[in-house]
């Protein structure tokens, strides 16, 4: 087994209700396929079923098994779990998946390529190496002469031969009309000999082992020869008038047309303008006339679809007279007459459904008069319906008439048609659609046969094809009128086979065809499915299953004419087709032919290196690209003889299987008919004269050129030249490059096509020069088709001979100087890395080809080799073509992982992230791509996000790739911003700069590929280094956990100016640096940005509330304990008025205008103590106070220090005493919008309830802090959501803090058990235990909204808008605000679950889920509220008070961070209820989180946004990535 990093793994994301039957997924043997759950399925109990068998088990299409899930992180995490298939066998396999009661909520197919082997050593023949040549088997002559004829394929360089069927042929001698599918054609045996399949098998084996040639043949499932003997014994195998009575009208028309043929042939219509020899338009018009005057009226086909009116009316009358009522169960009580089509299709055989008649025509009474009236209504209706059938059949006959005349026109008048001459019984007016194995008789006599099933079972429908028909529909089955409308282009020698739905419908046919298939698979390496698009899919499926049972690595090819790639995919998927036949002849000019070369294989030159583990991308079917197929028109007739070589060369340069048909290389100037050709192929003789008809050699046609091209094609595929570039040099010249991405060698073929004969078409004489990048090592081949003095072509009677007047002049493997096609080759150097050769041509005549082998110039080749050597430490994909450096530069002597291991997470923030505003502080910025946009980050993630979109589709035209090809600016930007740093980051920058030195010396077209390789290597190494510095929760976590944890690196960094106030000098593990501004030593603690890009730098970077909501998730859970401690203590130093600042402003510009930040800070200290080993030590840590008194100026660090527990005590004491102050510098200087009253801050503990309350209607002290800004809408200075009184989350947070301090005090870890306060002039001691108990007792009484009018606790029953919820606040100045449904109570549930009764909590959470939960966030207000508005637009200024200037910021838009608390609350209370509820909740949680995972993966910021507009829509005013959004989702995963 391959090591994991070398194994090719493809990941298929499953999405609910996704049917991928028409999407093609191709895989190779040895690949691993992983099924993973898309967002719509995460959290559901999904089961994946497949019919891919267990190892050693046979394949059974209908036998499915369930795959088991793997959990890489050891936890049941839906974002990472996968089930997989180790693909070791070729074929087509189905998968489907379902969950719950849904058995199938999505499905699709995978197609695994076969592995072909040739030679005595059984070496692998890659599919792209295949070069195939088709032989019409009947033209090979006797079997003992085959080797001499097949030797032409070997000597022309082909490695696969396609034989048309080798079975006994039918009367028509068509290669595809087989009389006996099981017998080897006896005409291959000379008299006295009898060759069989055994001798053929020996020949095929000889070709494989000695000639390195594989053999395939056709399988024909759709029809059999009309004279097949087994068909006489088993007429049920075809569509006859017994098993398919719906064809009876079409048969009658067919017989009538046959009788018309005999009359026309006898000249009986000459007087009506229709002679036997049809030569003009007027004769065609006469056919229309005869059909409508003589044929259609005589056969009255409409009668087969009509009702016998009087007998139906009589039956109806009898039922009415007998008082019979309709069966309402059958009619459903609905009126409407139903006619039942006669299943035997007899004239007037249709009947009336009497229940529908009785329901529709109801007499007013049972009186005879009313019954007669009712019968009259029915009679009228039936006559109308009969008339309608006449009209419908009339339309069918119009189509039939047009189709017949069109057919006659093609067969007798058209220039390109067969020109059949006069109408005779041998060449009838139109081909017969049915067999008629009896003596001639009159039409009237034939009609009498219709009642004799023993005769009609032998009237069998012929096969053919229908222009523009749905290939997935069987045109001979009931419901199709193809035979009646004469739309079938009919093969009169073949009978269409009728398989039915399965073997039980026609046992003999299924058994017969299965034997045929097994014989074929036993002797041949592959099959071509003839007429594949018309073969019933279930038949072909079953037969190919049988074939693969005999030969597992069966190569299957087919030509499809569905007209739709998606329908092609249905056939490829269901049948496991290995290659679809494509044809260069379908191109109308050289440009289109070049497009086909590009379309059918390979990746673009300079494509980015794909990782071994990557998404499974839909693909197009593997192509078998032929210059011409054996059943199509001859290219020499359609183009010119000179075009054979250049078009062949273009085909040979395609990165797929290629091939041709015998005769093309010999320049046979006509189509070799699969029906009429009876001559033999010439034999091989190396010294054959070009004029010889019975022998061919290298002088014949373009054989010498084709040999060189086939060798080249096989070499390019075998050596990994998988990249393709097609350049249209001028109207006729196409240059095709095949490039090897590991050695960077190219072969460039310049082909001058000759679509028009030079004798009649003027070709351009001035050929533009070509510029070929690199150094031309040799001319691989140059070949010209030349006309020689020779006798002109004469069709031989015995042999299929070609045109002797043309041959190929060819030279192979010559130096450029010896070329006769190239005039001169100049060398130009374009910059330090571009080595370009200019080629001018002298003899690139129409019909010529030249191919150059090109290497990079020696210096660039060395640079690439060294680059690959250094990159091979990251991926073995770079080993091929790598060259070790003797004297590596200093920067590259240490492995990158070693350099990375010295980086801190703060360094990694610089390396990976930093948005534009953060970089600008240092005088830089994010790189901006001219004409496109700026990268999101200056660090590697900025580029990685863009490259991740470029890589899967190789979008080399992307502006970033263009920028890299144009110059070194972006390359230098990446390394220079790191070199300007100090320490380990500088070393990483030097490593990158050294790698980029090599990069700059390779051709520009390769730079995107290697730049991506260097960046991917650096980035993945950096991520590994980051995870190693984090907690085991992250290191052992799922991909989702890891990517969220990177939010910690993204948000936490050190800027040019320290964002945090200074910490006490007594603390250990505080980081220091030399200030870039003062040159002095200073602390450089990590601070946390609230969100990017809006809250990332300057005084707007750090916010108390945001920091402490995000701290547990981003710092504590990720193991960043020291940094968490430093942030807690830095904020502690800024405590003032008993509050923690909202906007930190480095402490000096702090604003103390929020009531909640201090409680979030206390919650974080509690979390720190719980989460961190010996976490209680933080309580004794020294805090250096900036504002030891409310009114002092900021003190210098160290002046006043106290332990953290004293700071905590002060915060609680101040709240118990009551806080009331006016903000410093109140006015527009600190807030342009706030009214004067808003600058007054108040917070206290309500003695009646124990709740912390405060605020007023002019300020907003909680996280819902939008202040009105619009003068026009008159909301300026008015908070949208004041939430004054006791906000529910503050009550929960304060309860959590007090309960915790009571516990700490009991353990002797906190010195205070309460606080002294002055109440009404007296000092009163309030114990924390008392306070804790007080809140516990009053909470539910005050906050629960029962909705019952009699509830004694309900002060405002008239304001209840939603019942069964918890209030958003208690005691608001506008009482109705208390009753608004918002997502804040789940916060209290998580931090203080003891406040809530389980059943009530659950009910409230269910309301919140129904009303507030959005795709990513929680609606900030009940959508039923009259002021709800879910779209936030901060730029909109209008007259709408509730919306202008984003006033509705928290009145509907869906914020992400509350989702974390909501889901955690659901998990907590579900566990308290019962197991079933908990399981359902886990499902919900996973499902919600899957949407976050998807957003995170797709976001170029690699983050979760601050908010979305309603229903998860993008909000352009939101931060693209927000600290608390990432943190709170990470906390849910921790709880899971």
Per the omega criterion (within 30 degrees of 0), is the bond before 864 cis?
Answer: no
Q: How many residues make up the chain in this entry? A: 1536
Q: Helices marked H in 761-842 — which ranges?
A: none
Distance in angstroms (rounded) separating the CA atoms of residues 774 and 657: 28
The token duo for 821 is: 């096609």
The position carrying tokens 């698009």 is 533
Distance in angstroms (rounded) separating the CA atoms of residues 1482 and 1495: 20
CB 29 within 8 A of CB 87: yes
State the distance between the two ends of the chain, measured CA to CA, in whole angstroms: 35
The position carrying tokens 């039956």 is 315
From 1243, 1253, 1250, select the one nearest 1140 (Cα to Cα): 1243
Residue 997 β-bridge partners: none
Question: What are the CA-CA distances from residue 1086 to residues 402, 804, 905, 1108, 1461 (Å)?
Answer: 84, 85, 9, 14, 26
From 781, 1044, 1013, 1052, select the one nearest 906 (Cα to Cα): 1052
Is 1339 exposed, middle or buried, given 0-12, 13-18 or 19+ CB atoms closer than 10 A? buried
Distance in angstroms (rounded) separating the CA atoms of residues 590 and 599: 14
Active site residue 530: yes
Per the omega criterion (within 30 degrees of 0), is the bond before 255 cis?
Answer: no
Question: What are the CA-CA distances from residue 510 to residues 177, 230, 644 (Å)?
Answer: 18, 13, 43
Helices 1104-1111, 1523-1535: crossing angle, 10 deg rounding: 20
| Cα 235–chain centre separation | 47
Angle (CA) 1142 1144 1147, round 5°: 130
Residue 594 dihedral angles phi and psi, to the nearest 5° = -65, -40
From 865, 849, 845, select the one nearest 811 (Cα to Cα): 849
Contacts of 604 (CB under 8 A, 6+ apart): 723, 724, 725, 954, 956
Distance in angstroms (rounded) separating the CA atoms of residues 1302 and 1311: 10
The position carrying tokens 């229940």 is 355
Distance in angstroms (rounded) separating the CA atoms of residues 1226 and 858: 73
Supply the DSSP symbol for 1186.
Answer: S
From the candidates 162, 462, 533, 1450, give the one annotated as an active-site residue: 533
CB 1185 within 8 A of CB 1129: no
Q: Helices marked H in 884-958 — which ranges?
A: 896-900, 905-912, 916-921, 940-950
CB 1521 within 8 A of CB 1425: no
Local structure of 1126: helix, strand or coil: helix
Is 1370 exposed, middle or buried, given 0-12, 13-18 or 19+ CB atoms closer than 10 A? buried
From the candidates 568, 631, 955, 1246, give the one annotated as an active-site residue: 631
The position carrying tokens 């009358």 is 317
Helices 1039-1051, 1475-1498: crossing angle, 10 deg rounding: 60
| Cα 26–chain centre separation | 13
From the candidates 128, 530, 732, 1246, give the one annotated as an active-site residue: 530
CB 631 within 8 A of CB 666: no
Active site residue 533: yes
Question: What are the CA-CA distances from residue 4 to residues 31, 32, 79, 1026 (Å)?
Answer: 11, 10, 20, 22
CB count in 10 Å sphere of residue 285: 12
Residue 486 dihedral angles phi and psi, to the nearest 5° = 55, 40
Active site residue 538: no
Hey, which residues are catalytic here? 530, 533, 631
């Amino acid at each position: 087994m391959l090591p994991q990093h070398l194994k090719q793994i493809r990941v298929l994301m499953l999405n609910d209700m996704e049917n991928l039957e028409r999407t093609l997924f191709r895989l190779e043997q040895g690949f691993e396929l992983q099924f993973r759950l898309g967002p719509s399925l995460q959290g559901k109990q999904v089961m994946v079923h497949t019919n891919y068998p267990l190892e050693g088990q046979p394949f059974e299409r209908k036998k499915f098994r369930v795959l088991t899930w793997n959990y890489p992180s050891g936890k049941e995490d839906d974002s990472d779990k996968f089930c997989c298939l180790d693909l070791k066998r070729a074929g087509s396999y189905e998968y489907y998946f379902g969950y719950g009661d849904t058995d199938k909520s999505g499905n699709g197919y995978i197609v695994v390529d076969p592995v072909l082997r040739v030679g005595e050593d059984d070496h692998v023949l890659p599919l792209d190496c295949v070069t195939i040549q088709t032989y019409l088997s009947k033209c090979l002559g006797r079997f003992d002469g085959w080797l001499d004829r097949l030797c032409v394929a070997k000597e022309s360089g082909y490695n696969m031969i396609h034989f048309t069927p080798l079975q006994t042929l039918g009367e028509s001698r068509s290669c595809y009309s087989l009389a006996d599918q099981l017998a080897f054609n006896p005409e291959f045996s000379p008299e006295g000999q009898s060759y069989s399949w055994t001798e053929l098998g020996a020949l095929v084996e000889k070709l494989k082992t000695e000639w390195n040639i594989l053999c395939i043949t056709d399988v024909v499932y759709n029809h059999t020869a009309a004279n097949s003997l087994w068909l006489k014994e088993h007429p049920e195998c075809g569509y006859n008038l017994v098993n398919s009575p719906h064809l009876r009208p079409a048969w009658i028309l067919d017989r009538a047309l046959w009788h018309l043929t005999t009359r026309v042939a006898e000249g009986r219509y000459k007087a009506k303008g229709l002679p036997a020899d049809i030569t003009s338009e007027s004769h065609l018009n006469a056919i229309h006339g005869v059909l409508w005057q003589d044929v259609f009226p005589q056969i009255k086909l409409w009668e087969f679809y009509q009702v016998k009116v009087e007998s139906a009316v009589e039956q109806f009358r009898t039922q009415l007279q007998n008082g019979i009522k309709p069966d309402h169960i059958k009619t459903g009580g609905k009126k409407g007459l139903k006619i039942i089509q006669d299943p035997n299709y007899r004239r007037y055989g249709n009947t009336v459904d009497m229940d529908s008649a009785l329901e529709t025509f109801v007499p007013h009474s049972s009186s005879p008069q009313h019954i007669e009236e009712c019968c009259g209504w029915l009679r009228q209706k039936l006559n109308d319906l009969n008339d309608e059938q006449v009209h419908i059949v009339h339309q069918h006959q119009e189509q039939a008439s047009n189709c017949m005349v069109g057919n006659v026109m093609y067969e007798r008048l058209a220039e390109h048609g067969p020109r059949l001459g006069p109408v005779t019984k041998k060449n009838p007016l139109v081909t017969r659609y049915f067999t008629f194995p009896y003596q001639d008789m009159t039409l009237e006599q034939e009609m009498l046969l219709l009642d004799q099933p023993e005769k009609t079972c032998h009237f069998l429908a012929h096969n053919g094809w229908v222009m523009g028909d749905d290939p997935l529909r069987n045109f001979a089955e009931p419901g199709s009128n193809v035979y009646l409308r004469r739309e079938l282009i009919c093969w009169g020698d073949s009978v269409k086979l009728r398989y039915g739905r399965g073997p039980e419908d026609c046992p003999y046919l299924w058994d017969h065809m299965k034997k045929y298939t097994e014989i074929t698979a036993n002797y041949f390496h592959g099959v071509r499915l003839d007429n594949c698009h018309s073969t019933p899919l279930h038949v072909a499926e079953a037969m190919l299953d049988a074939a693969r049972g005999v030969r597992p690595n069966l190569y299957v090819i087919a030509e499809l004419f569905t007209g739709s790639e998606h329908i092609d995919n249905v056939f490829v998927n269901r049948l496991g087709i290995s290659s679809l036949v494509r044809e260069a002849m379908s191109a109308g000019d050289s440009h289109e032919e070049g497009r086909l070369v590009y379309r059918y294989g390979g990746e673009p030159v300079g494509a980015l290196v794909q990782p071994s583990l990557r998404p499974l991308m839909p693909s197009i079917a593997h192509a078998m690209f032929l210059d011409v197929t054996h059943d199509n028109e001859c290219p020499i007739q359609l183009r010119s003889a000179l075009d054979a070589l250049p078009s062949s060369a273009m085909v040979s340069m395609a990165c797929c299987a290629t091939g041709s048909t015998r005769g093309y290389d010999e320049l046979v100037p006509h189509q070799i008919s699969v029906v009429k050709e009876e001559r033999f192929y010439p034999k091989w003789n190396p010294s054959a004269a070009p004029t010889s008809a019975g022998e061919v050699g290298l002088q014949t046609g373009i054989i010498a050129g084709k040999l060189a091209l086939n060798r080249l094609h096989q070499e390019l595929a075998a050596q990994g030249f998988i990249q393709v570039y097609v350049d249209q040099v001028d109207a006729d010249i196409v240059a095709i490059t095949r490039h090897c991405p590991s050695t960077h060698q190219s072969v460039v073929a310049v082909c001058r096509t000759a679509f028009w004969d030079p004798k009649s078409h003027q070709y351009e004489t001035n050929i533009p020069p070509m510029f070929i990048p690199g150094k031309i090592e040799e001319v691989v081949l140059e070949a010209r088709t030349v006309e020689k003095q020779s006798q002109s072509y004469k069709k031989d009677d015995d042999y299929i001979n070609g045109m002797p007047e043309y041959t190929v002049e060819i030279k192979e493997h010559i130096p450029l100087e010896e070329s006769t096609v190239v005039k001169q080759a100049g060398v130009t150097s374009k910059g330090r890395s571009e080595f370009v050769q200019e080629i001018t041509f002298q003899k690139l005549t129409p019909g010529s080809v030249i191919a150059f082998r090109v290497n990079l110039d020696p210096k660039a080749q060395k640079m690439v080799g060294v680059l690959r050597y250094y990159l091979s430490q990251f991926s073995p994909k770079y080993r091929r073509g790598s060259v070790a450096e003797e004297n590596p530069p200093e920067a590259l002597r240490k492995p990158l992982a070693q350099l990375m291991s010295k980086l801190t997470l703060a360094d990694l923030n610089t390396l990976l992230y930093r948005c534009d505003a953060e970089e600008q502080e240092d005088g830089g910025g994010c790189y901006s791509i001219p004409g496109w946009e700026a990268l999101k980050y200056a660090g590697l993630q900025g580029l990685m996000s863009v490259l991740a979109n470029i890589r899967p589709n190789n979008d080399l035209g992307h502006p970033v790739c263009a920028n890299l090809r144009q110059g070194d600016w972006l390359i230098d930007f990446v390394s220079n911003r790191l070199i300007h740093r100090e320490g380990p980051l500088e070393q990483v920058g030097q490593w990158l700069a050294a790698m980029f030195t090599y990069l700059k010396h390779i051709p520009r077209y390769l730079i995107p590929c290697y730049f991506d390789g260097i960046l991917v290597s650096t980035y993945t190494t950096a991520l590994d280094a980051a995870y190693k510095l984090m907690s085991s929760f992250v290191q052992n976590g799922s991909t989702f956990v890891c990517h969220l944890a990177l939010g910690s690196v993204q948000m936490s960094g050190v800027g040019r100016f320290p964002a945090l106030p200074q910490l006490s000098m007594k603390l250990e593990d505080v980081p220091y640096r030399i200030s870039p501004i003062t040159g002095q030593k200073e602390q450089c603690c990590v601070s946390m940005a609230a969100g990017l890009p809006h809250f990332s730098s300057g005084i707007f970077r750090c916010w108390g509330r945001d920091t402490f909501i995000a701290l547990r998730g981003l710092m504590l859970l990720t193991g960043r304990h020291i940094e968490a401690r430093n942030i807690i203590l830095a904020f502690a130093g800024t405590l003032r008025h008993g509050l923690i600042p909202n906007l930190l402003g480095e402490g000096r510009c702090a604003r103390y205008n929020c009531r909640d930040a201090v409680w979030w800070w206390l919650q974080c200290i509690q979390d720190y103590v719980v989460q961190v080993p010996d976490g209680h030590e933080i309580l004794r840590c020294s805090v250096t106070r900036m504002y030891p008194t409310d009114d002092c100026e900021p003190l210098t660090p160290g002046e006043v220090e106290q332990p953290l527990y004293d700071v905590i005590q002060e915060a609680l004491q101040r709240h118990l005493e009551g806080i009331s102050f006016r903000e410093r510098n109140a006015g527009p200087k600190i807030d342009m919008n706030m009214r004067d009253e808003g600058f007054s801050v108040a917070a206290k503990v309500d003695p009646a309830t124990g709740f912390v309350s405060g605020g007023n209607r002019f300020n907003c002290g909680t996280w819902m802090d939008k202040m009105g800004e619009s003068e026009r809408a008159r909301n300026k200075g008015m908070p949208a959501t004041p939430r004054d009184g006791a906000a529910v989350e503050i009550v929960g947070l304060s309860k959590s803090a007090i309960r915790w301090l009571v516990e700490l005090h009991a353990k002797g870890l906190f010195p205070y058990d309460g606080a002294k306060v002055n109440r009404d002039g007296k000092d009163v001691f309030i114990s924390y235990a008392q306070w804790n108990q007080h809140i516990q007792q009053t909470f539910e009484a005050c906050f629960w909204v029962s909705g019952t009018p009699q509830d004694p606790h309900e002060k405002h029953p008239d304001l209840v808008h939603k019942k069964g919820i918890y209030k958003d606040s208690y005691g608001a100045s506008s009482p109705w605000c208390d009753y608004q449904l918002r997502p804040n109570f789940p916060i209290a549930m998580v931090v203080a679950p003891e406040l809530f009764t389980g059943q009530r909590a659950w009910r409230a959470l269910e309301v919140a889920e129904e009303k507030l939960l959005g795709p990513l966030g929680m609606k900030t207000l009940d959508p039923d509220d009259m002021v709800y508005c879910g779209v936030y637009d901060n730029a909109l200024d209008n007259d709408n008070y509730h919306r202008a200037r984003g006033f509705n910021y928290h009145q509907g838009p869906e914020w992400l961070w509350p989702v974390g608390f909501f889901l955690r609350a659901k998990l907590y209370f579900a566990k308290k209820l019962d197991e079933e509820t908990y399981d359902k909740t886990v499902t919900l949680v996973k499902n919600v989180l899957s949407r976050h995972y998807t957003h995170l993966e797709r976001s170029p910021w690699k983050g979760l946004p601050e908010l979305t507009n309603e229903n998860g829509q993008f909000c352009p005013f939101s931060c693209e990535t927000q600290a608390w959004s990432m943190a709170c989702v990470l906390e849910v995963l921790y709880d899971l």
